[in-house]
Every structure is written in structure tokens, then in C-alpha cells.
Amino acid sequence: MLGVCVAASAGEKSVRGPASLTQNFVLGLNSVDVTVSFESVQNLSLVNLGLSALIINPLDPLLLSRLPASVTIPSAFPVLVHIDPLPLPLVGLEFTGVASVILYTTDLHYTPGTRLRLFSAHNGGPFVDITEETSAGSYRVRGSQGEFSEFMIVTDDRDPATIVNTKFSRLSSLMTTHQSAIDPTLFATLSGHYNDAHADWLAQDIDGAKAGIQAFLAAALASGPAEMADVWRSTEDVTDIDGLLRSAAGTLHFSLEDARDTDLDGVYDFSDNCTLVINPTQCDTDGDGYGNHCDADLDDNGTINTFDLTPLRAAMGSTGSNDADLDCNGIVNSFDLAIMRDAFGGGPGPAANLP
């Protein structure tokens, strides 16, 4: 790799405690800041952490075969980050709980509703979504891990409900896999929160499901090492069950928000041009981002008032594409007038990513 510049916020750290480390990689036209932060870590150093990054072919069939269908590698950022801590028995990296990985790049641009996500794979296995947060300002993404290996920013065009179902399944199978190593009382508590969240999800209660997963996260965080192992070390001879469960629950919590459809019209809030009105066709004849169903502001002055009534009256009876056809049924009539009356005094919207 070329031009590695180092900005470590914590140098060699042999005493256990919270710490993070950032390394910048410049790879041809691409650059990325990789930050790894720990709740509690021992023997953290750039050498021990084993960070590297390389340019990949975004169409590499081997890499694509490790991604779910409808997940692609953005050609503007074909970068694979490796975190492979050196397996040093006595002075190797050791951490408790979760490790957060943040990738920051100016090569991608955050837009509201972005489908860019952070994926990770362990030991050459399949890549899974570990995203817990995305934020504005170029592109910054955070996910957490109870283990390391490869990290990539990808575009995930899968259906958000499919993503949520996949993450519930993953969390459930992790719990089943490690059940025998979890204290039975803690396991019952975690299962209870999981089941509550899953039932709320099936009932399309996103807030309830998020609260259930928050309770799961809190119970796991409050548990002690006697109830559930929570240590990862570079020799990989122990399993950080706490870290695995909390990172799987954390990314599920993130994805639940993506799957919110407040008006239940089948268009998720993050892209619905009328988030509170049923408008599955999303028709928007004036192309301003507000669907006709919530855009009675015909003169585009921000308020729905008598000035909008005039053009609607003038269009009465007309057929075909028309801004005054608020219900998009092909004709301007009294139903459209009723929609305008209901919206009187307010503004257009609300719509995804618009005020």
C-alpha cells in the first residue's frame, strides 16, 4: 500500500481501558480513514492491530460471490480493509465487549436515504451487514464487531424488510449456537427481549421492535463475564459471545429504522414522497419531491391557501397529467378539492428528505 500516514489517538496501550486508533490509507485515487475503537482493550498498537487496505476489482466474481444478491461494490470506492491482529500469545491485542470500526472517505457522498453500508467478513466467509450508523459529511459509516477480518463499503439494494429478517435470523442463530455457554437466567432474559422485538416487528411496530432490541443490548451490556464470555484475543482461542450478540443486535436496531413505513403504503419512509399519505404510485407531476397526494401547494409558495384554490378550480374536469390531480386518478374533480381543503393552512409534505 502507498502513503500510509498514521494518526494514532492512543499509542501502545498495555493497561486495559477504552482506546481507539486511526490510520489513513491513500490508494491511488482513493483514500480512507479507518478508526477502530474499543470499550476496553489491552496491548493496542498499530503493529498489533494489523490494519491494511487495498484496491479491489468491484466486479471480482470471488468477492461478489461472498455478498448477498443485490449488494454491489461501488466503483467510486473499490476498497477492502483488513484488520488482522497479530496472534501474539503474550503481548497480542485483547479486548472486552465490542470493537467499533469506522470508515471515513471523501470518495463517497452521504445523501439521506443512502443505501451505502459497511459489510464485514470473518476468515474468508460471507460478508454481512454490520452497519450501526451512517452520517453526513462525505461518507462515514460505523459498525461493531466481536471479531475481525475484512471490511468493505457496499451498496445494499435489498428490500429493507428482507434485511431486517436476515438480521433477526442471524441474531437468533448466534444465540442458539452459544446457548450452552450463556448463563440460563441471562439467556432467558435475552430470549424474552428478542421475542418481544420479533413479535413487534411482525406486527409492523417499529418503535416496539427497536425498544425490544435496546433492552436486549442493555441486558447483554449489563451481564458479567461469569454469565457470558466477553473477551476477544488475538490467539482466537476464546469466543467473545457478548461482542458477537451486541454487534448483531446493534446492526439489527439500525436496519429497523430503514424498514419503517408509517402510512403502510408499501413505500418505506426513507423514500416515500408522502410519508403520511397512502400513495403507492408516488406520482409527482411537478417533480418537486412532494407526491401529488401531499402537494396541494400548486403555486409552490410553501403554503396551501386560496391562491392554490384558483388554479385547482380552473383545472376542474381536465384529464391527463395535472398538478391539480392530487389523488392521481386521471381527472381533476371534487375529490382533489377535498384533499386541498384538508391541507388548507399547512404546507406540502411531509416527504422523505424534504422539509
Q: Indicate the residue among 156 and 325 with the shorter CB distance to Ca ion.
A: 325
Determine the Cα–Cα distance for residues 150 and 324; give it in Å rounded to an integer: 52
Residue in 34, 198, 327, 351 binding Ca ion, rule: CB under 5 A: 327
Residues 341, 347, 352, 354, Cα dihedral to 10°: 160
Angle at CA 155, nearest 5°, toward 162 and 175?
45
Binding part of the chain for Ca ion, among 14-22, 108-116, 178-186, 284-292 by CB under 5 A, reads: 284-292
Cα separation, 253 vs 245, whole angstroms? 12
* Percent helix, strand and coil across the chain, each to the nearest 5: 30, 25, 45
Nearest approach, Cβ of residue 312 and Ca ion (Å): 10
Q: Does 329 bind Ca ion (CB under 5 A)?
A: yes
**Contact between 288 and Ca ion (CB under 5 A)?**
yes
Q: How far is the CB of 299 from Ca ion (least distance, A)?
A: 12
| Listed ranges 53-61, 142-150, 298-306, 336-344: which one lies at the site for Ca ion (CB under 5 A) | 336-344
By the rule CB under 5 A, 267 interacts with Ca ion: yes
Stretch that binds Ca ion, among 74-82, 124-132, 157-165, 253-261 (CB under 5 A): 253-261
Exposed / middle / buried, residue 97 (Cβ in 10 Å: 0-12, 13-18, 19+) = buried
Under rule CB under 5 A, residue 295 binds Ca ion: yes
Query: Should residue 144 be labelled a site residue for Ca ion when binding is judged by CB under 5 A?
Result: no
* Span near Ca ion by CB under 5 A; candidates 182-190, 225-233, 238-246, 332-340: 332-340
Position 108, amino acid: L
Among the residues of the chain, which ranges form H helices?
Answer: 46-49, 61-64, 160-178, 184-202, 206-222, 241-258, 306-315, 334-343
State the SS3 of 58-92. Answer: CCCHHHHCCCCCCEECCCCCCEEEEECCCCCCCCC
**Does 150 sit near Ca ion (CB under 5 A)?**
no
- Under the criterion CB under 5 A, does residue 336 sit at the interface with Ca ion? yes
Stretch that binds Ca ion, among 46-54, 225-233, 294-302, 314-322 (CB under 5 A): 294-302
Contact between 257 and Ca ion by CB under 5 A: the answer reads: no
- Quick note: the x/- pattern for Ca ion over 119-138, rule CB under 5 A, is --------------------
Residues 6+ apart with CB under 8 A from 272: 261, 262, 263, 265, 279, 282, 291, 351, 352
Residue 263 binds Ca ion (CB under 5 A): yes
Between 74 and 289, whose beta carbon lies closer to Ca ion? 289
Asked if 145 touches Ca ion (CB under 5 A), the answer is no
Q: Name the residue nearer to Ca ion (CB basis): 17 or 330.
A: 330
Question: How far is it, in rounded angstroms, from Cα 215 to Cα 193?
Answer: 6
Q: Which residues bind Ca ion (CB under 5 A)?
A: 261, 263, 265, 267, 272, 274, 279, 284, 286, 288, 290, 295, 325, 327, 329, 336
